[in-house]
DNA sequence: TTGTAAGCGTTATCAC
DNA sequence: GTGATAACGCTTACAA
C-alpha cells in the first residue's frame, strides 16, 4: 500500500541521542565511534537511541573538525561523450569503494566554466580533483592548486602535473601486430581527423611494426579524414579501387571501421577471408553489431579512471607521482580478423 | 615555463583575512558578504586581504550553520548506458546554474548498493535526491526519506512519490502520425524486448493512430525481439518477404532501424521511396551515420533531467509536486522518411 | 561602523 | 567510565 513520503523533519543530532540515552554528548560520541572507554551496557543504550532516532552523524560537522571533506571533485569536459564516461565510472568506482564521494561538474570544454567549477569545488574543500578531458590531446594546466590534481584522458601540458592517458601508439602497434599474425602484408591505414594527436600516434605505432616486418602500407601513409562511417565508406572505396590486392585495413575508430566493412561487403570482398579489418575504441554498440563483429582496440578507459583515482589518493596521502602515466590498451579479437583464406 | 604544483598549505581562514586587514572576524565576514554596515574603505581593505590570501570561504562551516549542504545527490543505475547520461547532464546543468553541486553515485542496478549510497548521501546532508533509472519501467520506491526525492527516467512504483519520465506512448503516436503524413498506409512495427514496458507503450501509441486512420498494421501486431541491429535485419527480412507491398516500418530503437535499413538496401528497396523508416531514441551516432540518415524520435532526455532537477528544487522549496510527470518527445525528421515515390 | 559572543554538530582533551 | 569544555570556520544577533 503506497504511502505518502514523510514530512521533512530536522534530522536527529548527537545531542538528541545522548538525551534519549541519558548520557552526555561526549559519551554518546564515544559509544557510537567504538571508543573503548564505554561500558557495554551504556553503549547498547546509546545505540538503541541512535537506531530509534535514525541518527546519522552530520558529515559537515565531522568534516569541519577533520579538515577534510571526504570528497573529490570530478570535472569532465564531455559528459555527453563516449570517452569521458567510462573514465568517470572508473573514478567513481575507485572512490566509492573507499569512503569518499564524488562531486561531479561538467565544464563542456569551456575553460571559464572549468575555472568557475574548480573554484566552487575548492570552496567545498575537496580533498583532490580529477579533470577528465574530452580528447586525448594535451590541455593547459590548471596551475598550482591547494589540492592534488590528476588529469585523465587528456594530459596536462605541464609535465610536473600528474596525468594519466591511454597509450595510443601501443594501440596502433597492437593492431598492426595482429594483422601480421593473421598473415596480412598489404595494409591500409584509415583514420580520422588529422588534428587529433591520437590519430597520428596510432598511425605511428602501426607503422613502426609494419615497417619492421617489411609489410606494405598501401598509399605509403595513412588516410586522414573524419571520425565517421561516411569517411570509412569513402576511404575504403578509394583504397580498394587503387589497391585491389589489399588484405588488411587498420581503422582509427570503430565508426570508421563500420563504414569500411560496409564498402567491403558492397564491393564483394569477404571479411576476413579477403580483407581483415580492425577498429579502435571497442565501442560495443558498433563493434558487436557489425557484420562480421569487429576486432577492436579497447582503451580500458574504466581502468584509466580507476588508476586516475588511485593516483589521486596517493597524492592526497602525500605520495604524489608526477608525470604522464599510461594505460596499455588491449586488442579484442572478433570475427573481422583471422587467417587469410585464399 | 612549467612549474611544479605548489606545496599543499592550510587554506586561509576568515580569521587570517581579518587579521591581515586589521579588523575583527565579524567585520571581515560582513564586508565579504556585502552587508551594508561596513565603511567602504574597510571593505576594500578586507577584500584586498582576502584576495592576497586567496581566501575562499569554507563551505562546510557555512553549511553547518545554514543547515543545508547546497548539494544534491544523484544516484544513477547505468552510468555506462545511453539513457541515464543525458538525464544526468540535464540535472547537473540545472543544479550548476544555481549554487548547488551534484554528488554522483553509481548504483549499477543493485538495490543494496543503492541503499548504501543513499545512506552515505544522507549523512552528507544532501538537500535532495534524484534517482536515475536504467530503463523506463517502474521501480520500487525508496520509501520515506528525510529529503525530497525525484525519480527520473524510471518512475517510482509509489504514485505519491515524484517521478518524471518520457512519454513513450506519445513517441509512438508521433512516429505513426509522421508515417501517415508521408502517405504510408501499410506499416510494420518492429521493436525490442517484450519485457520492456516502453516497447509496448510505443506500440500502443502507434496503433492508436494507425487504427484511427484505418491504416494497416502488417502482421496485425508488432514484432518483438531484441534491441539490436541483428534483430532489425532479421525482422525486416521476415516482413518484406511476407508483405512485399509494405511502405513503412516504425522501429522501436535506432539500433533496430539500422538493421532494418541494411536489409531493405540489400533486398533492393529504396528508402524512403519504397519504404519509409523511423527509429526511436535519436542516438546520433547511429541516426546520422545511417544510409539514409534516420528519422527518429528524440526523447529529450536532457530536458527530462533538467525538469527532474527543477521538480527537486521545487520540492526542496516546499512546493512538492507528486505524481508521474512526463516529458513530450519530438520527432526529428531526416532522409529515411518522406513522401512516397511510386 | 565595528567588535563581542553565541552557536551550528561533531570530536578530542581533559578532569572527575 | 563518564562528562564538561574547547575547538573546527563561519554567520549573526547584540553591544559598544
3-state SS track over chain B = CCCCCCCCCCCCCHHHHHHHHCCCHHHHHHHHCCCCCCCHHHHHHHHHHHHHCCCCCCHHHHHHHHCCCCEEEEEECCCCCCCHHHHHHHHHHHHHHCCCEEEEEECCCCHHHHHHHHHHHHHCCCCEEEEECCCCCCECCCCCCCCCEEEECCCECCCCCEEEEECHHHHHHHHHHHHHHCCCCEEEEEECCCCCHHHHHHHHHHHHHHHHHCCEECCCCCEECCCCHHHHHHHHHHHHHHCCCCCEEEECCHHHHHHHHHHHHHCCCCCCCCCEEEEECCCHHHHCCCCCCCEEEECCHHHHHHHHHHHHHHHHCCCCCCEEEEECCEEECCCCCCCCCC
Say whether both B38 and B187 belong to one domain.
no
Give dist(CA A171, CA A315) in Å, integer: 28
Q: Which nucleotide is nearest to B41 (CA to C1')?
A: C1
Say whether both B76 and B119 belong to one domain.
yes
The pLDDT score that the predictor gives to residue B9 is 63
The pLDDT score that the predictor gives to residue B79 is 81
Residue B236 belongs to domain with CATH number: 3.40.50.2300
Give dist(CA A227, CA A236) in Å, integer: 14
Angle at which helix A25-32 crosses helix A40-52, to 10 degrees, equals 90
The pLDDT score that the predictor gives to residue A9 is 62
Task: State the SS3 of B64-86.
Answer: HHHCCCCEEEEEECCCCCCCHHH
Measured between CA atoms, the residue of chain A closest to residue B232 is A289
Give dist(CA A251, CA A258) in Å, integer: 9
Chain D nucleotides covered by protein, CB below 7 Å: 1-5, 7-13
Say whether both A190 and A280 belong to one domain.
yes
Tell me whether A88 touches chain B (CB under 8 Å): yes
Place of cell 545512506: B119
The pLDDT score that the predictor gives to residue A66 is 94
Tell me whether B61 touches chain A (CB under 8 Å): yes
Does A1 reside within a domain? no
Say whether both B139 and B92 belong to one domain.
yes
Is the pLDDT confidence value at B342 over 80?
Answer: no
Say whether both A173 and A162 belong to one domain.
no
CA angle, A324 as apex, A323 and A326 as ends, to 5°? 145
Place of cell 508521474: B324
pLDDT tens string for chain A (342 positions)?
Answer: 555 544 456 899 999 999 999 999 999 999 999 998 899 999 999 999 999 999 999 999 999 999 999 999 999 998 877 888 888 889 888 988 888 999 999 999 999 999 999 999 999 999 999 999 999 999 999 999 999 999 999 999 999 999 999 999 999 999 999 999 999 999 999 999 999 999 999 999 999 999 999 999 999 999 999 999 999 999 999 999 999 999 999 999 999 999 999 999 999 999 999 999 999 999 999 999 999 999 999 999 999 999 999 999 999 999 999 999 999 999 999 999 998 876
Taking contacts as CB-CB distances below 8 angstroms, the residues of chain A near B79 are 85, 88-89, 92
CB-CB: which of A59, A89, A125 is closest to B123? A59
Residue A51 CB coordination number (10 Å): 10
Q: Number of structural domains, chain B?
A: 3
Range of the domain at A291: 168-299
Does B75 reside within a domain? yes
CB-CB: which of B57, B82, B125 is closest to A59? B125
The pLDDT score that the predictor gives to residue A342 is 67
pLDDT in tens, B36-54: 889 999 999 999 999 999 9
Tell me whether A111 touches chain B (CB under 8 Å): no
CB B14 under 7 Å to nucleic chain D? yes
Taking contacts as CB-CB distances below 8 angstroms, the residues of chain A near B258 are 289
Give dist(CA B255, CA B259) in Å, integer: 7
Tell me whether B33 touches chain A (CB under 8 Å): no
CA distance A217 to chain B (A): 28
Give dist(CA A209, CA A225) in Å, integer: 23
Q: Which nucleotide is nearest to B27 (CA to C1')?
A: C2
The pLDDT score that the predictor gives to residue B341 is 78
Instruction: State the burial class of residue A10 (Cβ atoms within 10 Å of its Cβ: 0-12, 13-18, 19+).
Output: exposed
Maximum distance among all alpha carbons in chain A? 89
Place of cell 509494405: B246
CA distance B251 to chain A (A): 17
The pLDDT score that the predictor gives to residue B7 is 47
Q: Which of B54-63, B92-101, B107-116 is the least confident region? A: B92-101
Say whether both B277 and B316 belong to one domain.
no
**Residue A6 phi/psi, 5° resolution?**
-65, 150
Say whether both B287 and B311 belong to one domain.
no
Does A339 reside within a domain? no
CB A146 under 7 Å to nucleic chain D? no
Does A50 reside within a domain? yes
Does B107 reside within a domain? yes
Angle at which helix A25-32 crosses helix A14-21, to 10 degrees, equals 100
pLDDT in tens, B236-252: 999 999 999 999 999 99
C-alpha separations of B305 from A169, B143, B155, B299 in Å: 38, 21, 13, 11
Does B63 reside within a domain? no
Give dist(CA A130, CA A121) in Å, integer: 11
Q: What average pLDDT score do residues B55-66 get?
A: 96
The pLDDT score that the predictor gives to residue B87 is 86
Tell me whether A268 touches chain B (CB under 8 Å): no
C-alpha separations of B20 from B47, B52, B55 in Å: 10, 10, 12
Say whether both B295 and B308 belong to one domain.
no
List the A45 CA – C7 C1' distance (angstroms): 28
Is the pLDDT confidence value at B56 over 50?
Answer: yes
Assigned C-alpha cell, B12: 586561509
Say whether both B315 and B283 belong to one domain.
no
* CB atoms A5 and B106 under 8 Å: no
Is the pLDDT confidence value at B327 over 60?
Answer: yes
Give dist(CA A187, CA A209) in Å, integer: 12
Say whether both A81 and A161 belong to one domain.
yes
The pLDDT score that the predictor gives to residue A209 is 98
Say whether both A44 and A141 belong to one domain.
no
C-alpha separations of B44 from B14, B16, B22, B226, B316 in Å: 15, 16, 12, 66, 36
Does A215 reside within a domain? yes
Taking contacts as CB-CB distances below 8 angstroms, the residues of chain B near A150 are none
Does A334 reside within a domain? no
pLDDT in tens, B146-190: 999 999 999 999 999 999 999 999 999 999 999 999 999 999 999
Say whether both A162 and A307 belong to one domain.
yes
Tell me whether B104 touches chain A (CB under 8 Å): yes
Amino acid at each position: 500500500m503506497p504511502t505518502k513520503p514523510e514530512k521533512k523533519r530536522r534530522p536527529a543530532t548527537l545531542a538528541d541521542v545522548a538525551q534519549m540515552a541519558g548520557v552526555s554528548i561526549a559519551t554518546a560520541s564515544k559509544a557510537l565511534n567504538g571508543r573503548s572507554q564505554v561500558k557495554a551496557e551504556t553503549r547498547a543504550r546509546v545505540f538503541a537511541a541512535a537506531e530509534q532516532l535514525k541518527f546519522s552523524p552530520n558529515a559537515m560537522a565531522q568534516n569541519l573538525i577533520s579538515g577534510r571533506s571526504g570528497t573529490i571533485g570530478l570535472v569532465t569536459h564531455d559528459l555527453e561523450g563516449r570517452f569521458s564516461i567510462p573514465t568517470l565510472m572508473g573514478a567513481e568506482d575507485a572512490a566509492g569503494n573507499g569512503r569518499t564521494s564524488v562531486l561531479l561538474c561538467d565544464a563542456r570544454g569551456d575553460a571559464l566554466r572549468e575555472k568557475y567549477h574548480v573554484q566552487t569545488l575548492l570552496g567545498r574543500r575537496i580533498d583532490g580533483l580529477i579533470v577528465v578531458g574530452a580528447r586525448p590531446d594535451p590541455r593547459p594546466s590548471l596551475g598550482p592548486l591547494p589540492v592534488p590534481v590528476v588529469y585523465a584522458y587528456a594530459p596536462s601540458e605541464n609535465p610536473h602535473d600528474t596525468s594519466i592517458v591511454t597509450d595510443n601508439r601501443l594501440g596502433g602497434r597492437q593492431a598492426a601486430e595482429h594483422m601480421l599474425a593473421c598473415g596480412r602484408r598489404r595494409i591500409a591505414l584509415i583514420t580520422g581527423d588529422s588534428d587529433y594527436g591520437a590519430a597520428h600516434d596510432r598511425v605511428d605505432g602501426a607503422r613502426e611494426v609494419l615497417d619492421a616486418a617489411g609489410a606494405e602500407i598501401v598509399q605509403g601513409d595513412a588516410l586522414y579524414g573524419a571520425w565517421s562511417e561516411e569517411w570509412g565508406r569513402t576511404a575504403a572505396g578509394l583504397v580498394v579501387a587503387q589497391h585491389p590486392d589489399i588484405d588488411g585495413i587498420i581503422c582509427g575508430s570503430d565508426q570508421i571501421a563500420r563504414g569500411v566493412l560496409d564498402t567491403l561487403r558492397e564491393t564483394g570482398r569477404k571479411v576476413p577471408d579477403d580483407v581483415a579489418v580492425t577498429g579502435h575504441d571497442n565501442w560495443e554498440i558498433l563493434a558487436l553489431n557489425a557484420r562480421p563483429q569487429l576486432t577492436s582496440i579497447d582503451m580500458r578507459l574504466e581502468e584509466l579512471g580507476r588508476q586516475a583515482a588511485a593516483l589521486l589518493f596517493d597524492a592526497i596521502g602525500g605520495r604524489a607521482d608526477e608525470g604522464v602515466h599510461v594505460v596499455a590498451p588491449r586488442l579484442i579479437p572478433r570475427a573481422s580478423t583471422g587467417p587469410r583464406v585464399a
